[in-house]
C-alpha cells in the first residue's frame, strides 16, 4: 500500500501536477495507444489528475470509466475535468470489488506500492473474462542522470527505488529522455508533481546542500524516464 506521506505529497501537488508532468502525460498517451479492443468498462488505477483517463475517453467515448486513486485532492482535480467519470478513493494495492473490468490501465503508479508483482496479480483478478491489464511503470535505470548528479555532489541517493526491469512478465522497455532548463527545474518537477518522497530508510536531502549543488549546475538538465510497458490477461 502507498504510505500516508506519499498520499499527502500527491495531494499537496494536486494544483500544480498537470503543469509539471509532461513526461507522465506522454507515458499515459503511449500506454493507452498500446491497448486495443472496444472495452465497455475501464478502470484507471493510480489515476491522479486524469492523464490516462483523458486519453481513454478520447479513444473509447462510449466506455464507462472508473478512476481510482488514494489522494482525494488529485481525484477532485480529475472530477473537475471529467465530470462523468466515476471516481473511487482507495488504496491501489488493497482495492477489491465485485465489479469486473474489460480493461485496466495504470501509469506511473505501480512503483509506489509494496511488492509490485503481488499487486499485479491482485489487479488481474479485477478483470472480466477476456479482459486485459496494461501497466506502465518506471524501472531500474530510470532517472540515472539525477542519481549521478547526487553522487557527484556527495549527496545521498534518496530517490524512490524502481522495480528491476525483469520484475514481471515480458515487457517493452522505452526511454523517455526529458529536457529541463536546469537541474533546479528538474528538482522542482519532483516536488510539484508529488514525486519527491525519499526512499524508505532514507532521509530527505538536506536543503542547504541541495541548493548549493543545484546552483552549481550550468545549462539544461536531461532526465531519462525508463519505463516498462507490460500487458497481462485475466487470470483463467
pLDDT tens profile 62-104: 999 999 999 999 999 999 999 999 999 999 999 999 999 999 9
Reported as a single tens digit per residue, the pLDDT across 205-236 is 899 999 999 999 999 999 999 999 999 999 98
State the DSSP code for 103: E
Q: What is the CA radius of gyration of the chain?
A: 18
Facing residues of 234 across strands?
none
Torsion of CA 227, 204, 208, 157, to 10 degrees: -50
Distance CA 208, CA 166 (A): 37
Identify the structural domains of the chain with CATH numbers, from first to last: 4-139+227-233 (3.40.50.150), 144-225 (no CATH)
pLDDT at 1 over 80: no
Residues facing residue 86 across a β-bridge: 66
146 vs 138: CA distance, rounded Å: 14
Taking phi first (over 0 means left), then psi (-120 to 50 degrees means alpha), and beta for anything else, what does residue 75 get? alpha
Q: 141: exposed, middle or buried (C-beta count within 10 Å: 0-12, 13-18, 19+)?
A: middle
pLDDT tens-digit profile of 135-149? 999 999 999 999 999
Rounded distance between C-alpha atoms, residue 39 and residue 226, angstroms: 28
Task: Give Cβ neighbours of residue 208 (< 8 Å, ≥ 6 apart).
Answer: none
CB atoms within 10 A of CB 167: 19
Q: How confident is the model at residue 2 (pLDDT cuts 50, 70, 90)?
A: low
Amino acid at each position: 500500500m502507498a504510505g500516508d506521506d506519499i498520499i499527502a505529497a500527491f495531494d499537496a501537488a494536486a494544483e500544480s501536477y498537470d503543469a509539471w508532468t509532461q513526461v507522465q502525460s506522454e507515458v499515459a498517451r503511449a500506454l493507452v495507444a498500446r491497448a486495443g479492443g472496444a472495452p465497455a468498462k475501464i478502470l484507471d488505477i493510480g489515476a491522479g489528475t486524469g492523464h490516462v483517463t483523458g486519453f481513454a475517453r478520447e479513444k473509447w467515448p462510449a466506455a464507462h470509466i472508473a478512476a481510482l486513486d488514494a489522494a482525494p485532492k488529485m481525484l477532485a482535480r480529475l472530477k473537475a475535468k471529467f465530470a462523468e467519470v466515476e471516481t473511487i478513493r482507495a488504496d491501489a494495492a488493497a482495492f477489491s470489488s465485485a465489479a469486473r473490468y474489460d480493461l485496466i490501465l495504470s501509469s506511473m503508479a505501480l512503483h509506489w506500492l509494496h511488492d509490485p508483482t503481488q499487486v499485479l496479480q491482485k489487479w488481474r483478478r479485477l478483470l472480466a473474462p477476456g479482459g486485459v491489464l496494461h501497466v506502465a511503470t518506471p524501472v531500474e535505470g530510470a532517472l540515472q542522470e539525477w542519481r549521478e548528479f547526487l553522487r557527484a555532489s556527495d549527496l545521498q541517493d534518496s530517490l524512490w527505488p524502481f522495480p528491476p526491469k525483469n520484475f514481471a512478465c515480458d515487457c517493452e522497455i522505452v526511454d523517455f529522455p526529458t529536457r529541463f532548463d536546469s537541474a533546479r527545474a528538474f528538482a522542482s518537477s519532483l516536488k510539484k508533481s508529488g514525486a519527491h518522497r525519499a526512499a524508505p530508510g532514507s532521509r530527505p536531502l538536506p536543503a542547504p546542500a541541495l541548493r548549493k549543488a543545484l546552483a552549481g549546475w550550468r545549462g539544461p538538465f536531461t532526465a531519462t524516464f525508463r519505463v516498462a510497458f507490460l500487458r497481462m490477461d485475466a487470470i483463467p
